[in-house]
Amino acid sequence: MKKTLLTEAALKKLQQEYDDLIQKRHHISKEIKVARDFGDLSENAEYHAAREAQSHNETEILKLKEILESYELVAEAYDKDAITINSKVKIKYTDTNDIEEIEIVTKIESDPFEGKISNESPIGEALMGRKKGDKVDVHSPNGPLEIVVMDVM
């Protein structure tokens, strides 16, 4: 099984989410007990909604538990010369000459709308270990891209 890379901040975030879901589990159990008292379960919308919430919550608990049981902690320090996790990078797309500043993060922390790109995404994976001035070929789902690393910050 492939280990999920986590920074210390991502690990704390996941542990908090896991704890919150465990607390929510107890709340949902109480909702189910209350809804059962409303009568016929086959026509009891509150009961079915609570059971659905319980199912969703348990699925999320299992996902987080799997990650928390098999992760690899990565250093949050970064190298100014080569791109690593937590590197901020200025890149240029050669086909459009668009310039973008992104940060390479773990998949747990990724948020493309905030400019945080996962190290496991096509662009993130292709940039790992690269240096200022490198031309990088990226095989993305939307087709091939060529990117120039303008700066590693």
Domains of the chain: 4-73 (1.10.287.180), 88-152 (3.10.50.30)
What are 49-77's pLDDT values in tens digits? 999 999 999 999 999 999 999 999 987 66
The pLDDT value recorded for residue 79 is: 66
What is the CA 82 to chain-centroid distance, rounded? 23
Hunting for tokens 């791109």 — which residue is that?
A: 83
Hunting for tokens 């299992």 — which residue is that?
A: 62
The pLDDT value recorded for residue 78 is: 61
Question: pLDDT over 70 for what percent of the chain?
Answer: 96
Q: Is 31 exposed, middle or buried (0-12, 13-18, 19+ CB in 10 A)?
A: middle
The pLDDT value recorded for residue 95 is: 93
| Average pLDDT, integer, range 19-46 | 86
Confidence of residue 1 (pLDDT cuts 50, 70, 90): low
